[in-house]
Amino acid sequence: MQIKKTAIIVNGFMHDFAAGIWLATIVTIVWLHSAHLANPSTTAVLNMLERRMFWTSVVAAVLIMATGAGRTFTYVDNWYGPDAERARRKALIVKHIVLFTAYALGYLVVWGKVFHVT
């Protein structure tokens, strides 16, 4: 039973850590692109870094989805009581709608920067 609890904790940690990595990579891509526009002599190096950060963000997004699915199967029902659980579930739904929107917008913003779509 201890191994299961440890796995649940590690899964939750990985989920949150991957979300932080994803956000950091998206912000870094924007910064790198601004830097390469400001100094065109760095374009070759910064383009390579932008692409690496982009694919790192994709790996992080996949990890977020996989560990999020894992959280679904380890969810403890009525931990905080029935009323609090109803409110918590509604908040989780809203949070995930906002975050899926943020992922979509993040990729819309950086796609053209990384792959130079005009």
pLDDT in tens, 26-36: 999 999 999 98
Predicted pLDDT of residue 4: 82
The domain locations on the chain are 2-115
Regarding pTM above 0.85, the answer is no
- What pLDDT score does 16 carry? 93
pLDDT of residue 31: 95
Percent of the chain with pLDDT over 90: 58
Work out the average pLDDT over 65-79: 78
Task: Flag the least confident range among 18-27, 65-74, 76-85, 103-112.
Answer: 76-85
b/e burial code for range 41-72 (CB count within 10 A of at least 16 → b): eeeeebbebbeebbebbeebbebbeebbebee
Name the residue among 95, 31, 98, 29 with its Cα closest to residue 58: 29
- Crossing angle of helices 82-115/2-38, nearest 10°? 30
